[in-house]
Chain A
Amino acid sequence: MLSRTAENLYWLARYVERAEYIARTIDATLRVTALPTAYIGKTNEWESALLTAGVSSSFYETYQEATEQNVVEYLAFSPANPSSIKNCIEAARLNSRSVRTALTSEMWDTINSAWIELQEVWGKGTSSREELARFLRFVQETSLRFDGSAYRTMLRNDAYWFSRLGLHLERADNTARILDVKYHVLLPEEEHVGGPLDYYQWTSILRSVSALTAYHWVYRETLKPWLIADLLILNDTLPRSLASCYSNLVRNLDQIGVAYGRQGASQRHARGVRNRLEHSHMDDIFQHGVHEFIQEFIADNSRLGEIITRQYLI
């Protein structure tokens, strides 16, 4: 396969995944901010939404203050924000056009229809919370359809594996990012653990990665910070956990390695990261420092992206 095709597939999957994550972040933030102040205190959740989306500094180049309107505008629609949902869908569509030959018609149809709807229905943004909610649903459904059509229609060859690499790398980055922004609410500091503030913050973390129901199935307990961390970092059965993302990254890289008859730096690096996740315990991570652990993970993850690029995509 052309390196450029692989690169486009990889980024296409990343953009779709990112759009969905941003939509989930906005959704989770809206829910928290809708609570009475008695429950959530005076923290500015919109600031934290910018942080988890990784666009805080660029936001403040344009805006003075993180209000609901500003942040939603910036995260969802702003052309100035390269990671805005609108830009992600547009970039995904441009990538799709340049690799149409590697996509199934179902995948193309999903992206192209979403792009058409984006222009026609959402060209002016949203003017009410109801509209915003519909928009966020549209984004999440697009990503589900895209993922589903890829899963159901693509040949299991390198095209599929490269797109999966993009998806899992992006997903790992997103999960790590939200943990990094919220790690302080997961820290076991006796004085405020379990208060309503933390409870709703935890809920919002889980919602951002659509793991709230999963949590209850896995632990059958009320929300506890170390269990949340355990679920999102180490639990291989949760599709958005770091451990699960790395199982998939290792598997897809192995599949490519076998098909091409050659292994390389990216296979080794991914395996290293996965092994570390496999052999870690939450106690040790807390001891070592959640923040430090996550920071290292984010660096490792983006290094994997660079190595994959060097090995296959250029």
Chain B
Amino acid sequence: MAVAFDEMNGPGGDLRPAYRELSRWLKETPPDALEYRRQEAELLFRRIGITFAVYGDAEAQERLIPFDVIPRIMSAKEWTTLEKGLKQRVRALNMFLRDIYHGRDILRANLIPDDLIFQNPVFRPEMNGQNVPHDVYVHIAGIDIVRVDADNFIVLEDNARTPSGVSYMLENREIMMRLFPDLFARHRVAPVERYPDELLAALRSVAPLSASAEPTVALMTPGVYNSAYYEHSFLADKLGIELVEGRDLIVKNDEVFMRTTEGLKRVDVIYRRVDDDFLDPLTFRPDSALGVPGLMSAYAAGNITLANAVGTGIADDKAIYSYMPEIVKFYLGEEPILKNVPTWRCREPKDLSYVLDNLSDLVVKEVHGSGGYGMLIGPAATKATIEAFRDKLKREPEGFIAQPTLALSTCPTCTSSGLAPRHVDLRPFVLTGSKHVTIVPGGLTRVALKEGSLVVNSSQGGGTKDTWILDE
């Protein structure tokens, strides 16, 4: 594996311009002052209750995601390219979804094998031919980006279902501003605080035709025990909308209402953080108590907008991911601005045999997995693990893709032995309303806290950083 590109020190250890002030500040600041601020940040996070739950982890039902006080900084120029690429990608994602559930031009053009869609468990036949308001499917996308060198940002994953993490982007900034006012005074950091306003505007813009001029938006959560519950309540609060659970909603005559102290009140747009499977026990899993019976029929009647739409999972599937460059070209007639990671589709015999021959150099992922579960990181795995994976791959090749281990960029991070480079990724949040695609400058930087580790997922012990886009 090549030596990783360091965001601060660049190739050959030359300080990169965006980090000039930070570097100067770090030299002036005694290490114990940094450590003191770090502890203070942790205390703040705990008191505010910014926690997440880890499933199957009874010991620590609510955990803090470690926060690193050293910001990750990008120049305005870098961001501009990234922003263009993200908007392009999300436009294509939306067109792809519309097409898959309607005319299926892309299948007729033989660009994607049919079975990849129709045999896919996240494909929703219920959505065939169904129109969604304003043809927007992915209202909120979280696109995971890694950087491999000075010029190249690469998309690792498109999260088109219910991407989380935006509350950390916002809270990290709040806490940084509180703890390091001096550092902010030396920089011009583009603000991210507009995000809730933009999200609400986007959600209101996609209200169904039958909604009133002032559409009612609600955020739907599976409840307090969900791992991202903090984020759900945080966002509902910032947006000034009700945080509802399935039991708060009722469907009457194909309209959705919430139970309020003043009786039933119609809801027009639901920003739902509940997976497809649990939305409506009459359509999906009948054993689920999280959803609302009849919700899908109100959806079909065009009386409710669900954000994101039902069935968007097909666009963030890892098997479809490898076709994204073709998807962008097909719908927009443009060259994709953001690259994909080279990906071997294990379903294709030629790719499979390459993957089997090179397992110890590759990262192998489950097509439908998420959160860093069930993956093989070849270079870090034991022989036994690799052999176990080889069997799995042979048994069910279509369930996996493989990618080279990327040299993710690193960023200076506080560790027990002082500042040290740690690998980072970036999840910007892209909003699509009826007219515009928007992104607030920044996103959630996740950092692998263990030395050498490439796994940044919070469920696997990763941390987060504030992301600064310098406004030049």
Contacts and interface: CB of A to CB of B under 8 A. Distances in A.
Interface of A: 1-6, 94, 97-98, 100-101, 105, 108-109, 112-113, 116, 158, 162, 256, 260, 262, 312-314
A116 B46 contact: yes
Interface in B115-151: none
A314 B264 CA distance: 11
B218 to A, nearest CB: 9
A5 B259 CA distance: 10
Contacts of B247: 4
B261 interface: yes
A97 B248 contact: no
A112 B245 CA distance: 22
B261 A158 contact: yes
Nearest to A313: B261
Most buried by B among A5, A100, A116, A313: A100
B236 A101 contact: yes
B396 to A, nearest CB: 40
Contacts of B234: 100
21 contacts: A1-B260, A1-B262, A2-B248, A2-B258, A3-B260, A3-B261, A4-B247, A4-B259, A6-B261, A97-B49, A98-B233, A100-B234, A100-B237, A101-B237, A108-B48, A109-B48, A112-B47, A260-B261, A312-B261, A313-B261, A314-B259
Given A108-B49, A113-B47, A101 B243 contact: yes
Interface in B242-293: 242-245, 247-248, 258-262
Contacts of A97: 49, 224, 229, 233
A1 B223 contact: no
Interface string B38-66: 00000000111100000000000000000
Contacts, number: 58
Q: Which 10 A-B pairs have the closest CB atoms?
A: A100-B233, A101-B237, A312-B261, A3-B259, A6-B261, A98-B224, A101-B236, A112-B49, A97-B224, A1-B261
A158 B229 CA distance: 24
A262 B261 CA distance: 11
Nearest to A97: B224
Contacts of B237: 100-101
A94 B243 contact: no
A158 B48 CA distance: 24
Interface of B: 46-49, 223-224, 229, 233-234, 236-237, 242-245, 247-248, 258-262
A4 B233 contact: no
B237 to A, nearest CB: 4
B260 A2 contact: yes
B49 A4 contact: no
A3 B248 contact: yes
Nearest to A108: B49
Nearest to A103: B237
Contacts of B245: 4
Given A2-B248, A100-B237, A101-B236, A109 B47 contact: yes
A101 B233 contact: yes
A2 B219 CA distance: 12
B369 to A, nearest CB: 29
B55 to A, nearest CB: 17
A314 B247 CA distance: 10
B244 to A, nearest CB: 7
Given A97-B49, A98-B233, A313-B261, 9 more contacts: A2-B248, A3-B248, A4-B245, A4-B259, A100-B234, A101-B242, A112-B48, A116-B46, A260-B261
B60 to A, nearest CB: 11
A204 B421 CA distance: 64
Contacts of B233: 97-98, 100-101
Contacts of A101: 233, 236-237, 242-243
A241 B345 CA distance: 74
Nearest to A261: B262
Contacts of A312: 261
Contact of A162 (B229, B236, B261): B261
Contacts of B223: 98
Contacts of B248: 2-4
A226 B243 CA distance: 50
Most buried by B among A101, A112, A113, A260: A101
Given A4-B248, A4-B259, A260-B262, A94 B224 contact: yes
Contacts of B224: 94, 97-98
Contacts of B48: 105, 108-109, 112
Contacts of A116: 46-47
A228 B99 CA distance: 78
Contacts of B244: 2
A249 to B, nearest CB: 16
A108 B49 CA distance: 9
Contacts of A158: 261
A6 B248 CA distance: 12
